[in-house]
Amino acid sequence: MVTPVLVSGDGTLVYNGGPVSATVPAVRDEAIDTTGDARGSFSLAGVSVAYGKDLVIEGVDMHIPPQAVTALIGPSGCGKSTLLRCLNRMNDELGNVHIGGTITLDGQSIMGKAMDPVELRMRVGQVFQRPNPFPMSIYDNVAYGPRTQGVRRRGELDGLVEESLKGAALWEEVKKSLKKHAFELSGGQQQRLCIARALATKPEVILMDEPASALDPISTQQIEDTIAELKSSVTIVIVTHNMQQAARISDRTAFMLRESLEEPAHLVEIGDTKKMFTNPDDERTESYITGRFG
Amino acid sequence: MSRLGRTRQARTAEAVARVLTGTVALSVVAVALFIFVYIVYNGIGALDWTFISEVPRDRGREGGILPVIVGTLYVTLTTAALTLPIGVLAGVYLAEYAPRNFTTRAIRLAITNMAGVPSIVYGLFGLAAFVLLAGFGRSIIAAALTLTCMTLPVVITATEEALRQIPQDLRQASLALGATRLRTIYKVVLPAAAPGIITGSILGLARAAGETAPILFTGAVFQMRRLPDGLSSQFMSLPYHIYAQVTSVPGWNRTLVWGTAFVLVAGVSIVSVIAAWWRSVQRRKVKW
Amino acid sequence: MTTPSTPSSGRRLGRTTTRRAAEAVVRAIIYLCGWMAIIILGAIAVFLMWNSLRAVQEAGLVTMLTGTAWYPTSSPGKFGMLPLILGSLFVTGVALAVCVPVGVAAAVFISEFSGRLVKEVMKSIIEFMAAVPSVVYGLIGVAVLIPFVRQFFGLDTGMTALTGGIVLGIMSIPTVISISEDALHAVPAELRQGSAALGNTRWQTTFKVTIPAASSGIFAAVMLGLGRAIGETMAVLMLTGNAAVMPTSIFESVRTMTGTIAAEMGEVVQGGLHYSVLFAVGLVLFTITFAINLAADLVLERQRKRWRR
């Protein structure tokens, strides 16, 4: 169905006559704190997303703490990936997507003209569902981001490449064959190469959209280990379908739900992963999680 | 009629259809083979060092075809230098920027229609626009610009098709690393699409090299004692040379003219075959 | 552009105003090139019309299109295009009679009755035929077909509409085959299987289901073959004898529109009436081929939509 949506002059979504955030009860996120010097924390307030005139996400309030893993879970079609793409403005590339509410990265708005999406993406990297290395050498893949930022010196690039490949736990496997074509790597190696490629720009946040869904169990394990290593230095937001995975690797979990096709998706609950998986506040969360386990 | 009879009739019809269409297909093969053998048989005898290293003498009845070969190369390479950048950028526009609207549909329609405009009409256009209005005179540059107009649709189509085969994933990955749209195209998409673009363009340019009508009034000449010395020079050309010999030299030298045809067909075919082979090798190397 | 202070911002290259300007310029160039096809096609139309203006004013459009006498160099010149238009039609008619049955039958064979190897070989052969320059076809016609036609039909000259038409037909075969083959290939497999499941043989399926389903594509193939034949210059110039008189049979010399432009443009005064009339001939040619291609394109587009579902 088509929900009438308007984008008002200041960029907020207006719907059924009033601002969107006013029409739904906001989920309070207790973890919001804007103090601290850690980088890479997102705050979302009343975030709504519409594809054309179709409202797909409504009124998300959420804090994503720095240097931790936040998992977005929920049934397919609940807008997890769409919400993820709001954080690095990749929705801009789809065209015809309107985003309302406010999203701030370290206190600074990333919405509209307040932020150049190109600069935002240098700070917020992304790893995709399927490994998507560029058709070039391993080295050139990792060096792509730094080169985009204007790094030209060979020594500096070499250092960044090595550091990033180590960060993605791929260095030992490829250090002798950096000139090899990336397509010669296995699927799991390719995905770790993509993580290394994202790390090379020294991002504050890495967004991961079901990064292990196309991989075998052993490669999945390696990716999860890598994520555990990384979170001491970078904020990670991961979308996953896999409940066990969310339970294993994340510090906080957000549960999103689109209750019917006629209404937009919204955030049901967000909290510490342990609490979410043992004693969630909302019974919908519980039934989703247990249903998946059962 | 009984069911059995009908089945038998159907079988007969099937056999007749097979034989009939097969014979027609075979006759097409026979014609192609005849063309190929005839050109080789008549032309190969002319090939020797004199033929490719000397200028024509006695209105082309004697001597070689060096300025003819050089002129063809000169015009074709100039055409390539003009067509490739414009055609590739136009292909980039269609594959990466063009909105889905009426204007884009009109551009596509214009491209398919350009491919159907008769070559002699391009010749008229080149005469009016480049030779006279732009003041280039009958020259390599005027002829190359004319051939460029003719070859553009091929290069544009080849580029767009090659770009569309590059998975969206790659563009997303580049954009997510903070690359601009332009950098993404330049550094990731175009290099990945290069084999398709280059091969398609070479096939189009090979055809341009064999065209006569567009260069008739834009710069090709019957006789030149020296080699072309710049873009404003006139030129001799393989296809025009064949035409001019046959139609305006009484007692034209069969061997030399067929030799010229052989050089033209061999050049066009060899370049096309190499280009197609190279593309298939590249495709096998990279599977999306 | 203000960048908030982040620890690594020293290394990061800010997107300066110059860079943004450069990007905007490149984007503008890309857009310009994107529009180039429309620009060129429009320019061709404008140049043809502009240069035909004098002919239309002095000789008159209707007079030119219906005149039966083409004596451009007599004084005053007579610019009746009908002999040229009919010449083109005669040659094209012969060409179609050659290329349509042969092309469609060969396409049916390739698409319905042959294995992969035969298909690949046929495709290479067709590509070779398409790659041979038209002047070489003309040369072969001069060497082989002209003497043959003269002897076989006992004519005074072998340079006839028939000769030009046959060679033109052979040249158009690759176009007809490849587009018909595409059209047959695009017919969904379910349709064929459905027919086969009803107990139809391969040929019955082809004849009753596949060919009707692909008919619009085959029609487009014929149209494009026709466009190619009407617009072809060099082979007809070398083979049809170029007599600019009202043709009465295909065994006579004829002169086509393309041949007239090619043969006469070299000897006219630039900007003169004859020059302008030749542009008018070009304009007629352009209009005809444009209409044919537009029709073929619309048909193909409709077919594409139908199978896309």
pLDDT in tens, chain A (294 residues): 334 444 444 444 444 434 444 333 444 454 544 444 568 899 999 999 998 888 999 999 999 999 999 999 988 888 899 999 999 999 988 878 899 999 999 988 998 888 888 889 999 999 999 999 999 999 999 999 999 988 989 999 999 999 999 999 999 999 999 999 999 999 999 999 999 999 999 999 999 999 998 889 999 999 999 999 998 889 999 999 888 899 999 999 999 998 888 889 999 999 999 999 888 888 888 888 887 543
Q: Give mean pLDDT, residues B11-25.
A: 90
Instruction: Give the pair of three-digit tokens for residue A262.
Output: 């006629």
Please tell me the distance from the alpha carbon of residue B286 to that of residue A261, in angstroms, as a whole number. Answer: 41
Structure confidence at residue C302 (pLDDT): 82
* Interface residue B57 vs chain A (CB under 8 A): no
Residue A197 inside a domain? The answer is no
Where is A13: in which H helix or E strand? Answer: strand A13-15
Chains that touch B (3 or more CB pairs under 8 A): A, C
Please tell me the distance from the alpha carbon of residue C93 to that of residue B120, in angstroms, as a whole number. Answer: 20
Of C37, C266, C286, the CB nearest to B152: C37
Q: Considering only CB atoms, which chain B residues are within 8 Å of C172?
A: none
* Interface residue B187 vs chain A (CB under 8 A): yes
Of B169, B176, B180, the CB nearest to A130: B169
Give me the helices (H) in B44-65, please.
Answer: 49-53
Give how many domains chain A has, as a whole number. Answer: 1
Please tell me the distance from the alpha carbon of residue A242 to that of residue A292, in angstroms, as a whole number. Answer: 9
Query: Is A116 in Cβ contact with C15 (below 8 Å)?
Result: yes
Q: Considering only CB atoms, which chain A residues are within 8 Å of B170?
A: 132, 134-135
Q: Locate the chain C residue with the closest alpha carbon to A117.
A: C15
What is the dotted CATH code of the domain comprising C64-307?
Answer: 1.10.3720.10
Longest dimension (CA), chain B: 81
Chains that touch A (3 or more CB pairs under 8 A): B, C
Query: Is B178 in Cβ contact with A122 (below 8 Å)?
Result: yes
Burial level of C300, CB count in 10 A (0-12/13-18/19+)? buried
Query: Is A194 in Cβ contact with B173 (below 8 Å)?
Result: yes
CA distance A164 to chain B (A): 14
Query: Is C7 in Cβ contact with A39 (below 8 Å)?
Result: yes
Do A216 and A224 form a contact (C-beta atoms < 8 A)? no
* Interface residue B173 vs chain A (CB under 8 A): yes
Instruction: Give the pair of three-digit tokens for residue C299.
Output: 């048909």
Domain spans, chain C: 7-51, 64-307
Residue A104 inside a domain? The answer is yes
CA distance B172 to chain A (A): 8
The residue segments making up the domain with residue A41 are 6-132+204-289
Residue A183 inside a domain? The answer is no
Do B114 and B153 form a contact (C-beta atoms < 8 A)? yes
Q: Helix, strand, or coil here: A150? A: coil
Query: Is B192 in Cβ contact with A130 (below 8 Å)?
Result: no
User: Which residue from C35, C16, C14 is spatially nearest to C24, judged by alpha carbons?
Assistant: C16
Orientation angle between helical segments B66-92 and B140-164, nearest 10 degrees: 40
Structure confidence at residue B14 (pLDDT): 85
Burial level of C307, CB count in 10 A (0-12/13-18/19+)? middle
User: Which residue from C95, C119, C121, C89 is spatially nearest to C107, judged by alpha carbons?
Assistant: C119
In which residue are the tokens 């553009």 written? B152
pLDDT band (50, 70, 90) for residue C203: confident
ipTM above 0.85 for this complex:
yes
Residue ranges of B 64-123 with Cβ closer than 8 A to chain C = 85-87, 89-90, 92-94, 97-98, 106-107, 109-123
Q: Considering only CB atoms, which chain C residues are within 8 Å of A202?
A: 8, 11
Do C60 and C259 form a contact (C-beta atoms < 8 A)? no
Q: Give mean pLDDT, residues B238-255.
A: 94
Structure confidence at residue C196 (pLDDT): 84
The strand ranges marked E within A16-156 are: 18-19, 42-51, 54-64, 69-73, 97-105, 108-109, 124-127
Query: Is A118 in Cβ contact with B177 (below 8 Å)?
Result: no
The DSSP output letter for C74 is S
In this structure, what are the phi and psi dihedrals at residue A182, rounded to the nearest 5 degrees?
-60, -25
Structure confidence at residue C297 (pLDDT): 87
Of A93, A133, A148, the CB nearest to B178: A148
Q: Considering only CB atoms, which chain B residues are within 8 Å of C234?
A: 212-213, 239, 243
Query: Is B242 in Cβ contact with C139 (below 8 Å)?
Result: yes
* Interface residue B182 vs chain C (CB under 8 A): yes
Q: Considering only CB atoms, which chain A residues are within 8 Å of C24?
A: none
* Interface residue B4 vs chain A (CB under 8 A): no
CATH number of the domain at A263, please: 3.40.50.300
Structure confidence at residue B97 (pLDDT): 93
Of C4, C7, C12, the CB nearest to A122: C12
Q: Locate the chain A residue with the closest alpha carbon to C13.
A: A149
Structure confidence at residue A191 (pLDDT): 94
For C156-190, give one letter per residue: b (16+ CB within 10 A) or e: eebbbbbbbbbbbbbbbbbbbbbbbbbbbebbeee
Give me the helices (H) in chain C, please.
Answer: 17-34, 36-58, 61-66, 82-108, 116-131, 134-140, 146-153, 161-185, 189-197, 202-205, 211-213, 215-231, 234-239, 257-264, 273-308
Q: Considering only CB atoms, which chain B residues are within 8 Å of C227?
A: 116
pLDDT band (50, 70, 90) for residue C299: confident
Taking chain A, what is the end-to-end CA distance rounded to the nearest angstrom?
33
Q: Considering only CB atoms, which chain B residues are within 8 Å of C262?
A: 120, 123, 213, 216
Per-residue pLDDT tens digits for B47-59? 999 999 999 999 8
Query: Is A204 in Cβ contact with C4 (below 8 Å)?
Result: no
Query: Is A122 in Cβ contact with C1 (below 8 Å)?
Result: no
Instruction: Give the pair of three-digit tokens for residue B74.
Output: 């000169």
Pick from B117, B186, B202, B280 the residue to mutate for testing the C interface (most C CBs within 10 Å).
B117
Residue A192 inside a domain? The answer is no
Please tell me the distance from the alpha carbon of residue A11 to that of residue A112, in angstroms, as a whole number. Answer: 8
Q: Evaluate if residue C8 carries a pLDDT over 70.
A: no
Query: Is C34 in Cβ contact with B94 (below 8 Å)?
Result: yes
Q: Locate the chain A residue with the closest alpha carbon to C8.
A: A202
Per-residue pLDDT tens digits for C37-96? 999 999 999 999 999 999 999 988 999 999 889 998 887 888 999 999 999 999 999 999
Pick from A123, A148, A157, A160 the residue to mutate for testing the C interface (most C CBs within 10 Å).
A123
Structure confidence at residue A38 (pLDDT): 61
Query: Is B177 in Cβ contact with A201 (below 8 Å)?
Result: yes
Per-residue pLDDT tens digits for C220-264? 999 999 999 999 999 999 999 988 889 999 999 999 999 999 999
pLDDT band (50, 70, 90) for residue B1: low
Residue A168 inside a domain? The answer is no
CA distance C31 to chain A (A): 18
